[in-house]
Structure formats: structure tokens, C-alpha cells
């Protein structure tokens, strides 16, 4: 399936992205509002979709919305708040079966109108959000924020990034902070909602089957001019490390969690970024990677180990689960393996295996309408005009010299270790 996107500027600050996809049994419609990560506003932004999904002017409760979804052939509504580099993305998605599968091509109109009403026509009391809904969702968000500590691996990654980027927007937690919830009420949240509605850039994605009539309906339905648009500035990217951070945190855990953050200074629009992707995969992309083989299999020092590239910020992170006493040994092996990458001590087979792995990952977006929408959304955020085929070809062209050059840009910034209390 060759993916292409018909992007239409409906109005100032509002764009419709139409992707024809016949292989799926469902159609999806997603709204993405993007805002700069801001410590003062991040919590309100995260709370907003939780409150909006509670009710509309016509469907005042979650139960009524759920019944309406069931009437629409079991359509599904989902929301999320994610960090995309130094931006916060608020997503609303509705997904339902194709009209051609159920013999009702008109129901898609009702599905679209339901999502529209959730976003643009919420349930209000005295001109603002329901006090009860806001207080209930504040408690739910509080539990969500507090639960980040439950997954110790993810918690260690979050804490490493927080310490590494403590003076940068990238270090802000996308779901917000418990201490900020008490300052939010039904009225302040509604005023904040109006500000987002009228000022935040909006990308709308429709993935599935459509004709000219549906295309025109979507265009007409979402004409909503925005003034004084909120700008999402390009992330700051640096490879310079002034002072290395060593952070120890003690907790009642049975396994140590090590996370190491590296600055690379290679922005995603640079050709060398492709070399960075391959270098990261050779280093820690899977069971054939250098770190997996040497730290886990040869030395038996890790329960798991891998690398992650944070594309928008050009940061690489290595994380692993280890015994507490093996901290120094693991740090040294990781350092040696990165030095090997810098000196070109890796094989053509390593390169080929990693390129195939990256290609498989990139091609996997064909498996899901949701992933297709996410893929095109990321392309808009990064101003990437390449086709998927061209992106894969750029990976295939990566040379050993580019991998070495990218590896030589990996500079340790922060080492975080979650260890046993006492």
C-alpha cells in the first residue's frame, strides 16, 4: 500500500489530512491540538480531554456517549496526551467500521458529528464545565500522574530525562503535576479550553474510505478560523555537555534500573540523523545488538538492555535492569561498546541487520490506521516531505563512515540509577 496524504488548509490554524486506506475494516478520525510544553499549563492541558469526554450538550453523561457509540455499530472513542518533542499533543480519536462493511455509508456522518460535539459542544453548567466532572477527573488525573512510579523501568527513563533536561521544556512531564491540580476549577479550565480552541494549531486526520461528498462534508464541518495562533517553536538541540550528572535514587526495588542520557546535537533534518538511527540500533536495538550481546549474553549483567532515540530532541537513551552491585561493571562495558562504535568496530552484517530492523519498524505503520495518522502527524511536526519509501531509502544509503561520525557525537549527559533503599 502506497501511502499519500491529501492535506487541505481548511482555515487559519486548521488543516485536514485525508489518507485513503482500503485495507482496513474501519475508518478513523483524529484531532491533534498542539501546544508548547509549559510548566504552568501542562496540567490543565492534560485534564481538558478527560473532562470533555464526560458529556456534550445533547449527551450529558459518559453513559449516554457510550450508548451512542454502540448505536454507531460499536464505534470507539479514545483520547491521549503525549509529548512530541517540546510540544504537548492532545488527541481525540473516533474509530468505526467502514460503511461498505455494514451496508450503511451514511453512519460515518453521525460518527464525525459525535466527535465534533465532544470537542466543540461540551456539557456546561452555568456557562462553564460541570464542577462535579472537573473534580472527578482531577482525582483520576492525580492517580494517573502518581501511577508513573508503578512501572520502575519507565519511571527511571522519565527521571533521567527530567534531570537531563531540568531547564528545558523537554523535561516537563506531559500529564502534569499533582500540586497544580488544586489551582484548577470548572471556570478556569473552561477559560483555558476556550484559549486552546481559538488559538492552538489543529491537525485533523481521516484514514479510511471516502468520496468527494465526505471530503466536502469534512471541510465544511471543521471551518473554524483561529486568531493569534499559539506558536510551537523548534526544539533546542545541542551536543554540548557542560557538566555530567550522576543521579542516585533509593527506593524499595528488587532490581536496579539504570538510564543513561546522551546528547548528540544531530537534528532530525540533518542527513547524519539517518546514521544516528542506524548507530543506535547496532548499539542497542535488539537481541543482535552490541549491548545485548555483550552486557546480557556474554557477561550476564542485565535483565534487559536497549537504546532509544528521541527524535525531536536528538537525545539517545540507554536503559537496563541490573543487579545493584553490577553498576560500575555495566557502565564500563557500555562505555567500551560506544567507543567501539566510534572507532568503526562493527561489521557489515551489523549494519545490514540494523537497517532491516529499522525498515521493518517503518513499514509496520501499514498495519494500523492509527499508526498511519501518527506517522503523518509526525511528518507535519518535523516538516518532513519525504515519502515512506524515500525515508527507507535514506536508511539503506547510510555508510559506515556516517555511523562512526554519528557515534562520535554521542556525549554522556546524565547517568541515573534507581537502587535499593538502604
In a domain, 124, yes or no: yes
Q: Cα 260–401–291 angle (5° rounding)? A: 30
The answer on 89 and 48 residing in a single domain is yes
Cell 531547564 -> residue: 167
Locate the DSSP E strands across 121-271.
Answer: 124-125, 128-129, 202-208, 245-251, 256-263
Q: Are 62 and 16 in contact (CB under 8 A)?
A: no
The answer on 283 and 166 residing in a single domain is no
Element (H, E) at 143: helix 131-146
The answer on 307 and 261 residing in a single domain is yes
Q: Are 92 and 30 in contact (CB under 8 A)?
A: yes
The answer on 142 and 271 residing in a single domain is no
The answer on 184 and 266 residing in a single domain is no
Please give the tally of structural domains in the chain.
2
* 128: its cell numbers: 462553564
Taking residue 68's Cβ as centre, other Cβ atoms within 10 Å add up to: 18
In a domain, 62, yes or no: yes
Q: Are 322 and 258 in contact (CB under 8 A)?
A: yes
Q: Cα 128–131–133 angle (5° rounding)? A: 105
In a domain, 233, yes or no: no
CATH number for the domain including 83? 3.30.830.10
Give the global pTM.
0.94
pLDDT the model gives residue 242: 75
In a domain, 270, yes or no: yes
Which structural domain, as residue segments, surrounds residue 144?
A: 6-221
The answer on 128 and 52 residing in a single domain is yes
* Of the candidates 198, 224, 222, 268, the residue with the CA atom closest to the CA atom of residue 18: 222
In a domain, 237, yes or no: no
Q: Is 17 exposed, middle or buried (0-12, 13-18, 19+ CB in 10 A)?
A: buried
The answer on 205 and 80 residing in a single domain is yes
The answer on 284 and 141 residing in a single domain is no
Cell 449527551 -> residue: 59
Q: What sign does the dihedral 239-269-287-282 (CA atoms) show?
A: negative
Say which DSSP state 292 is in: I
Q: Cα 90–178–64 angle (5° rounding)? A: 50
In a domain, 194, yes or no: yes
Per-residue pLDDT of the chain (422 residues; tens, 9 = 90+): 688 999 999 999 999 999 999 889 999 999 999 999 999 999 999 999 999 999 999 999 999 999 999 999 999 999 999 999 999 999 999 999 987 777 776 889 999 999 999 999 999 999 999 999 999 999 999 999 999 999 999 999 999 999 999 999 999 999 999 999 999 999 999 999 999 999 999 999 999 999 999 999 999 999 988 889 999 999 989 888 877 899 999 999 999 999 999 999 999 999 999 999 999 999 999 899 999 999 999 999 999 999 999 999 999 999 999 999 999 999 999 999 999 999 999 999 999 999 999 999 999 999 999 999 999 999 999 999 999 999 999 999 999 999 999 999 999 999 999 998 76
In a domain, 231, yes or no: no
Q: Are 44 and 177 in contact (CB under 8 A)?
A: no
The answer on 202 and 101 residing in a single domain is yes
pLDDT the model gives residue 285: 94
* 160: its cell numbers: 533521567
| Boundary-marking domain end, from 221, 237, 255 | 221
Q: Are 198 and 213 in contact (CB under 8 A)?
A: no
pLDDT the model gives residue 101: 72
Residue 356 dihedral angles phi and psi, to the nearest 5°:
-65, -40
The answer on 279 and 217 residing in a single domain is no
The answer on 348 and 251 residing in a single domain is yes
The answer on 201 and 160 residing in a single domain is yes
In a domain, 249, yes or no: yes
Amino acid at each position: 500500500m502506497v501511502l499519500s496524504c491529501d492535506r487541505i488548509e481548511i482555515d487559519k490554524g486548521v488543516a485536514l489530512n485525508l489518507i485513503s486506506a482500503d485495507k482496513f475494516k474501519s475508518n478513523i478520525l483524529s484531532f491533534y491540538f498542539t501546544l508548547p510544553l509549559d510548566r504552568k499549563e501542562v496540567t490543565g492541558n492534560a485534564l481538558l480531554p478527560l473532562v470533555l469526554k464526560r458529556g456534550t450538550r445533547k449527551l450529558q453523561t459518559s453513559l449516554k456517549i457510550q450508548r451512542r457509540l454502540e448505536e454507531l455499530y460499536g464505534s470507539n472513542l479514545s483520547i491521549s496526551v503525549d509529548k512530541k518533542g517540546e510540544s504537548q499533543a492532545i488527541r481525540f480519536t473516533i474509530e468505526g467500521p467502514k460503511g461498505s462493511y455494514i451496508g450503511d455509508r451514511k453512519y460515518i456522518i453521525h460518527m464525525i458529528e459525535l466527535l465534533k460535539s465532544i470537542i466543540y459542544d461540551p456539557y456546561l453548567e452555568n456557562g462553564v464545565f460541570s464542577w462535579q466532572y472537573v473534580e472527578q477527573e482531577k482525582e483520576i488525573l492525580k492517580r494517573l500522574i502518581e501511577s508513573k512510579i508503578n512501572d520502575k523501568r519507565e519511571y527511571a527513563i522519565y527521571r533521567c530525562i527530567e534531570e537531563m533536561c531540568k531547564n528545558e521544556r523537554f523535561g516537563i512531564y506531559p500529564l502534569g503535576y499533582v500540586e497544580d491540580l488544586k489551582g484548577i476549577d470548572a471556570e478556569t479550565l473552561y477559560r483555558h479550553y476556550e484559549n486552546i480552541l481559538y488559538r492552538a494549531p489543529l491537525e485533523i486526520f481521516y484514514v479510511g474510505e471516502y468520496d468527494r461528498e465526505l471530503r466536502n462534508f469534512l471541510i465544511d464541518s471543521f471551518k473554524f478560523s483561529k486568531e493569534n495562533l499559539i506558536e510551537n517553536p523548534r526544539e533546542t538541540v545541542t551536543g554540548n555537555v557542560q557538566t555530567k550528572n550522576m543521579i542516585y535514587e533509593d527506593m524499595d526495588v528488587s532490581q536496579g534500573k539504570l538510564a543513561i542520557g546522551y546528547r548528540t546535537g544531530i537534528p532530525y533534518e540533518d542527513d547524519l540523523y539517518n546514521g544516528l538511527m542506524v548507530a543506535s540500533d547496532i548499539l542497542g536495538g535488539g537481541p543482535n545488538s552490541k549491548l545485548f550481546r555483550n552486557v546480557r549474553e556474554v557477561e550476564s549483567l542485565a535483565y534487559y538492555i536497549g537504546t532509544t532515540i528521541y527524535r525531536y530532541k536528538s537525545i539517545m537513551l540507554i536503559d537496563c535492569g541490573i543487579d545493584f552491585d553490577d553498576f560500575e561493571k555495566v557502565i564500563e562495558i557500555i562505555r567500551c561498546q560506544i567507543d567501539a562504535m566510534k572507532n568503526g568496530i562493527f561489521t557489515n552484517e551489523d549494519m545490514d541487520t540494523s537497517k532491516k530492523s529499522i525498515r521493518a519498524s517503518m513499514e509496520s505503520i501499514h498495519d494500523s490506521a492509527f499508526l498511519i495518522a501518527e506517522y503523518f502527524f509526525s511528518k507535519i511536526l518535523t516538516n518532513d516531505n519525504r515519502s515512506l519509501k524515500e525515508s527507507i531509502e535514506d536508511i539503506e544509503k547510510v555508510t559506515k563512515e556516517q555511523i562512526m561520525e554519528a557515534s562520535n557525537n554521542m556525549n554522556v549527559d546524565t547517568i541515573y540509577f534507581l537502587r535499593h533503599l538502604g
